[in-house]
Structure 1
Amino acid sequence: MSTQPSHRAGTQLAIVDAHHHLWDLASGHYPWLQDAYHGPAFFLGEYEKLRRDYLADDYQRDTYPYRVVASVHIEAERSRMQQVDETRWLHEVHERSGTPSVVVPHVSFVQPDRDEVLAAHMAWPRVRGIRSKPVTARSPQERVTGQAGTMQDPRWLDGLAALEGYNLSWDLRVPFWHLAQAAEVAAAFPRIRMAVNHTGLPLDRSEAGLAEWRRGLEALAANPNVYVKLSEFGLAGGRWDADSNRRVIRDAVAIFGPERAMFASNLPVSSLSASFPAIVEAVLEALADYDDAAIARIFAHNAIAFYRIGD
């Protein structure tokens, strides 16, 4: 008789995907996908592969045969003139397909009509949080601290504070060299739940880079309102480094504990480096020493609680 832990049967594990995207290029405008692209190469791989519709059927196909019992849609950078249109469209998609379960839309914390857009989002029952990316430096060597739109901008902080009145969480997406600054924000707003996107984007897998990433995560984890998403382990050019990914996953869970870590796929962007089964199995392998209760929290229960799925 096998003594293998039951959570090793990944296709039988109940999964709540805490971070994915959908888009329909005919019904909405996604500038980063549809407009002429003149910037540097997309940092996670072959950008052209993303310039197509990605609908609920595509998501369900990519996650089969795993038991994804619920999912969280994170804003997909639809035109900032169509922020509420994206929320409406996602509710229509849910009515047809059951996917996604809840929605995290966008509003810029510094846009003039911020309060009106927030109120319009709240008219839709599946809205649970907001993702609003602060202005960040392009590299660890660049400095933008205190500039307009950064995490030190009083106007930006005022926008973040507005989430508390709506019981909305904040999805925090910054590169690893801004994690320590984000921890200062988390400490200043202890009643706002925050989810670190993409494991804090540990893009530099050198010893020095990982040390800085760990310091940032440790500073964030000191705040009990902050959770971490175990997602997007791909590297530049679509590279998948199994050894360092294993280390990143283990370190992130060791820092936050299994009570504040959430599995997330980042589909379809993550498909530039790995399939959904590969991502699930990589996380399970990295966390092989954790018991079934911890695995159930990481893969489902924490996201259910954080995003109030079922409310």
Structure 2
Amino acid sequence: MPADDPVLSRSYRPADLAPQLDGAGFEATVLVQAAPTPDETEYLLGIADACPTVAKVVGWIDFERPDQRARLERFAAHPKFAGIRPMIQDIADVDWMLRADVQWAFAAAGDLDLTFDALGFSRHLDNFLTVFRRNPGLRVVVDHAMKPRIRDRGTAADDFSAWAAGMAAIARETQAFCKLSGLVTEAEPGWTIEALKPTVDHLLDTFGPRRLMFGSDWPVCRLRTEYAGWVSAAEALTADLGATDRAEIFGGTAARFYRIGRR
């Protein structure tokens, strides 16, 4: 996190999240790592132990160190540990995930029946598809819909077509899930529902409600809106769906994917 950001360079604790959950009607949440260190994962698991509303934790291990298998096994033994997320969006080498020395981690996550949160950008879509094909038993969710550049729509940098094709291929050729999250921070500060709609419509068409899950991306979403503001936008963007489909997106899909309520 940037050291001097007025929104992000501060501590957020369960007491800060509780009113957001209550206001939105959510019973529980999943904490997802934000730092490339196992110490943060230990910290998040400590919060989960102390906080009943934290249902699961997605942590981090060093993919470049095969000797971390034992640490991953120890994390996996924790009843609230769900899986792992390498911070691929921050790695300069777009082909990093294809390197031979990191393949052990993908295989280990599959062997241990852990989840894998795929965090990247549109430029990573082809390589993620390769990884998912190589590891068909890996339980995958695409974070933040792979961060389409909504702010660039209609400009020379518009990558919607490439993003849409890449996401459709993942939806069609793998069993991956996708998070309806992080979109407001990829849009302009004065974002509108209409600006987000083509992206969300494509996700609904390709993944469908049973493979699409709401994610708050809180507190990062506060760069553009508050928790309640993103909930309201997501509800508006899915208002044409039936009650059953909306229930999947706003809880059911996440509960099944992260196995909330069971091991």
Q: Same fold (TM over 0.5)?
A: yes
1:224-273 CA distances to partner (integer Å, 9 max, x unpaired)?
Answer: 42010000112469725222212211211111111100000010011110
Structure 1, 107-116 or 173-182: larger mean CA deviation: 107-116
1:90 counterpart (24, 44, 47): 44
- Give the one of 84, 88, 102 matched to 2:56: 102
Match of 2:217 in 1: 266
Q: What is the alpha-carbon distance in structure 1 between the residues aligned to residue 143 and residue 87 of structure 2?
A: 11
Compare relative contact order (CA 8 Å, sep 6+) and give the higher one, 1 or 2: 1
Instruction: Report the aligned-residue RMSD.
Output: 2.2
**Matches of 2:232 and 2:44 in 1, distance apart?**
29
Displacement after TM superposition at 1:214 (Å): 0.4
Q: For structure 1, which segment, 301-310 or 103-112, has the greater mean C-alpha deviation from structure 2 after superposition? A: 103-112
Q: Which amino acid aligns with 2:163?
A: W
Structure 1 counterpart of 2:164: 214
Q: Structure 1 residues 279, 145: closer, same or farther in 2, change over 3 A?
A: closer
* Kept in 2: contact 1:258–1:297 (CA 8 A): yes
- What is the aligned partner in structure 2 of residue 123 from structure 1? 77
Instruction: Report the secondary structure of 2:63's partner residue.
Output: coil
CA-to-aligned-CA distance 1:78-103 (integer Å, 9 cap, x gap): 6x2xx1x4344334323433231111
- Provide the secondary structure at the position in 1 that maps to 2:120: coil
Which residue, 88, 101, 104 being the options, matches 1:158?
Answer: 104
Is the 2:94–2:124 Cα contact (8 Å) retained in structure 1? Answer: no
Aligned residue among 123, 126, 151 for 1:180? 126
Q: Is the 8 A contact 1:229 1:264 kept in 2?
A: yes
- Equivalent-residue separation in structure 2 for 1:272 and 1:133 (angstroms): 20
Q: CA deviation at 1:67?
A: 1.1
Relative distance call for 1:260 and 1:116 in structure 2 (3 A) is same
Name the SS of the counterpart of 2:57 in structure 1.
strand
Q: Which amino acid aligns with 2:12?
A: Y
Work out the number of aligned pairs and report it. 257
Contact 1:202/1:213 (8 A) holds in 2:
yes
> Counterparts of 1:308 and 1:264 in 2: how far apart (Å)?
16
Give the letter for the 2:15 counterpart: D
Higher helix share: 2
Q: Does structure 2 conserve the Cα–Cα contact (< 8 Å) formed by 1:220 and 1:226?
A: yes
Structure 1 residues 137 and 121: CA distance shift in structure 2, 3 A: closer
Which residues in structure 2 correspond to 1:72-87 (within 5 Å)?
72-77=30-35, 80=37, 83=38, 85-87=39-41
Structure-2 separation of matches of 1:136 and 1:216: 20
Asked whether the 8 Å contact 1:93–1:99 carries over to 2, the reply is: no
**Runs of 5+ unmatched residues, structure 1:** 1-31, 38-46, 139-143
SS of aligned partner of 1:119: helix
Could you state the TM-score of these two structures normalised by the residue count of structure 2? 0.89
* Local SS of the residue matching 2:217: coil
SS in 2 for 1:101: strand
Q: In 2, are the aligned partners of 1:73 and 1:102 still within 8 Å (CA)?
A: yes
Match of 2:196 among 232, 245, 248: 245
Retained in 2: the 8 A contact 1:247–1:286? no
Match of 1:6 in 2: none
Distance change >3 Å, CA 224–CA 248, structure 1 → 2: same
1:295 to 224, 246, 255: 246
Amino-acid identity (%): 26
| Structure-2 change in CA distance of 1:136 and 1:270 (3 Å) | closer
Counterpart of 2:177, as a letter, is Y
The Cα of 1:137 is off from its aligned counterpart by 6.8
Residue 206 of structure 1 and its aligned partner are, at CA, apart by 2.1
- Bigger CA radius of gyration: 1
